[in-house]
Structure 1
């Protein structure tokens, strides 16, 4: 009899408790972000830094608890695909911003 939390290829799909932990962490991080903005307890730069840090932690929670991406050897292929995708999107965004900025600077000089 096979484990009910694995697929036919042996990949783990997590347990109910894992999903609940991920959900609770995601809700807590969302409430913290909302609280930072609504209380105006930090300076604008501090608020931006806090929101950015909480967003990064939120992404990591989603990757670990919902997408089941971890450091195990079984996840190596998924991790490589994810890193490639992030690098590709970063190059695309940075390149687009560079081209738009460069074009705007050249258009203004005439």
Structure 2
């Protein structure tokens, strides 16, 4: 059975994935360096690391998860919104539990 789907055909070396890996490593190295080798206030470090994390998210979506390569995007937006909701719930719940724990102790 032959498939005419354009995403099943290999077109050569996966340069998009290589560039995605390089960009991800650079963003991670910047965050690592910022956290360990600078004397910035914690609020500045956290803000920059969050921005770098959003950059990592964008790189992952477009370079590795092939966000723009689907013919049927009807499921992609709800899936991403649900993932954002789950991430926010986990982070907010963790912060809430840690704050509650510090009040009790």
Q: What TM-score results when the alignment is normalised by the length of structure 2?
A: 0.67
**Equivalent in the alignment of 1:35:** 33
Shift of 1:39: 1.6
Q: CA RMSD in A?
A: 3.5
Higher helix content, 1 or 2? 1
| Match for residue 58 of structure 2 among 57, 60, 68 | 60
Q: Which residue of structure 1 lines up, in the alignment, with residue 21 of structure 2? A: 23
> Relative to 1, partners in 2 of residues 1:50 and 1:68: Cα closer, same or farther, differing over 3 Å?
same
Gaps of 5+ in 1: 9-14
Aligned residues: 101
Call closer, same or farther: CA 1:96–1:33 in 2, change over 3 Å.
closer
TM-score, scaled relative to structure 1: 0.65
Q: Which runs of no fewer than 5 residues in structure 2 stay unpaired?
A: none
